Homo-oligomer: A and B are copies of this chain.
């Protein structure tokens, strides 16, 4: 029995992808549901494999099937391929099972030859079009099938243009194209030793063979190797009749979306041009009409089109992006696919499709691109506004802001309090600048990475920040900054976009965050299916409140260092650091205790009944002192003034700064190492936390306290500190005359913690991955240094597809996490495990967290909705994969 190598579009369907290739199956599917698709047939992938089996020959059997299909097609269309009066023209396209850009290009207008081109000219009453079409066909065929270099054709066109002293293709007339055609045909003969084939059937067979061969060309092989596509799939070949929108006033072409891709509104949205080809729409020479105007031009066609839109949405269960052509009053659908859309539209369409009964809630959840939601959660630059950035820094804290440039934080405060909007511009910020950041609309720094002081503080406050914008050169003395030739002075208005890192001169139109009803609906559905809890990182009662409003189910990371940095506490903290003895240190700490206690009471109260993870002090102490260079300047000024007492204090401080300075602070005296060397600091913090908890408990407020020890790499670090925490707790409970339950856990943020998680779990009630630090140590990348200088090169050179600080590196960092989860739960099967790095709000990372069985993710308050959605998507994907 002979095999069926050729399928008419009438015979296939979407399920026959592996036989018909992606494109062939899709075309057949469209025919199947009754769309007016330009008809044609598909030569199967099996035919391609057979071609190779037969030493690159088309078998007799296959040949007769192809001609039979052509015969059927000609009969159906009432035209003959390459007929001299009204020629049937076809396209030939490759169609692999998995789309492969490395393969053959399309051949259009096949069937034209020196005679049939005249028929086309007559039928379209457009000689220029006919000859242009013919020369395009020769060019494609000559290049793709006969392997003549592309330049050869280009230089022929150039020579004709030169002769005619014209520069644009559009200036070429029918005669010119005829001349080009003659030169093309001669050149092909000269280069290949073969005539350009005039027989349409020969053209067809040669094209089919060329597609088969392209399966094994170098580009395709490399593409398959890189993308791990098997070599033995073969490609199908699609032969489809050409339709022309430029055959007169009853012809036309257009593109349309079944719904508005920008707003999601349920109304057809698109445009068309009469008596034109698709490329005319793209070229923009004539202004297209809105799709609604088609109602007036061709009411029947319009009605048919609207019906097709409804049909397509119903069939594909999604908003469609449709290309169509009208040839002599007949509508053809050339292509339909799911339409690209904005985040806002995605949300609206998903919810409405559920309401229309076309998709279910889980499908709706999967339809919303979680990563794009961020744009809806912050004030942003109106996407319709034309803005030109003068510089680009790091997108350190999302959202957009405009304001008057101010360089000095004190001045920012003054002007800000007068009601002016300001953007604080600094080389970098320090804790001394906090009051300036608080009042500013946004912050722009020329130095520092995504974890710089400015970035962290701004993110915490939900304020836009662009950091490390090295292109701007700040001159504090002159009160201006420069970018190339542009000078921006104090008081000038600039805008910054913390989501893109762009800096713009002047004010730009902004859009406020849109938390539409549909958005809330999707999130509600997401909450129903997700298993991963979502918490927020928040350091203040205000942040905690925002987090709650965004749906956070607890606080996964409350950093205590930001409390230390507040202007009213910093002097006490500095006094503590400057202490020579433990006693002095304890004295300073005792002043901090009631303040810290108040901090915690505030947060616990907001989060009543929900868990709050408080991390004990993490950063190196020198972060709380001024930097050495600033001190040197101050000291020389004081020397000049002769203020001996203040001078001495500053000199002492400089000495301490020097003593505390480290080669690699990221890997230095910080985290639990501080707690082990200066236990009195952690003891104060634990007291403050538990006194706060006791106080509220007495008042009937439920508090769930999780005390977190950072940067543990060895079980004994945690064990030792756990004992100290427990001793302290017992003392507090004795003093307070009451007890509260609390948990002690650890950040898992060092490779060694993952590798020895089974030991560390013995002393831990919970684990929380700190994937920022874990990524730094696993890759050996300092985020501050790599993000600006190294990672962009890596992404550009395709060594990495994304910065691992943005998208969690599953192979390296992820495998350590998986190991830690397994080892930890081996010891304690119900160990609570979460993640509190910034990955906790990035969809792909959230998916991974779900996959390895974490209990919660924690992210900045504004990303909580993203995490909720991503967690739901992960759960659904997992279910669907089973």
Residues of A within 8 A of B (CB): 449, 662-669, 673, 676-677, 711, 713-714, 716-717, 720, 749-752, 755-756, 759, 773, 776-782, 784-786, 789-790, 793-794, 797-800, 809, 811-813, 815-816
Contacts and interface: CB of A to CB of B under 8 A. Distances in A.
B755 A664 contact: no
B666 A663 contact: yes
B776 A667 contact: yes
A784 B663 contact: yes
A66 to B, nearest CB: 43
B778 A812 contact: no
Contacts of A756: 811-812
17 contacts: A662-B782, A664-B667, A665-B785, A666-B780, A668-B782, A668-B789, A669-B786, A676-B799, A713-B779, A713-B812, A714-B779, A714-B799, A720-B797, A751-B777, A751-B812, A752-B812, A752-B813
A469 to B, nearest CB: 15
Contacts of A790: 668-669, 673, 677
B677 A793 contact: yes
A62 to B, nearest CB: 40
Nearest to A793: B677
Given A662-B784, A667-B785, 5 more contacts: A664-B784, A664-B785, A666-B667, A676-B794, A750-B780
Contact of A667 (B749, B781, B813, B815): B781
Contacts of A794: 676
Shortest 4 CB-CB distances between A and B: which pairs? A664-B782, A667-B782, A752-B812, A668-B785
Contact of A779 (B750, B773, B798, B816): B750
Nearest to A658: B447
A752 B773 contact: no
Contacts of A789: 668-669
Nearest to A794: B676
A497 to B, nearest CB: 25
Contacts of A673: 790
A780 B667 contact: yes
Contacts of A755: 778, 811-812, 815-816
A668 B786 contact: yes
A229 to B, nearest CB: 18
Contacts of A809: 752
B752 A779 contact: yes
A301 to B, nearest CB: 52
Contacts of A668: 782, 785-786, 789-790
A727 B533 CA distance: 52
Interface centre among A756, A776, A778 (most CB of B within 10 A): A778
Nearest to A717: B799
B663 A663 contact: no
B676 A797 contact: yes
A668 B789 CA distance: 9
Nearest to A677: B793
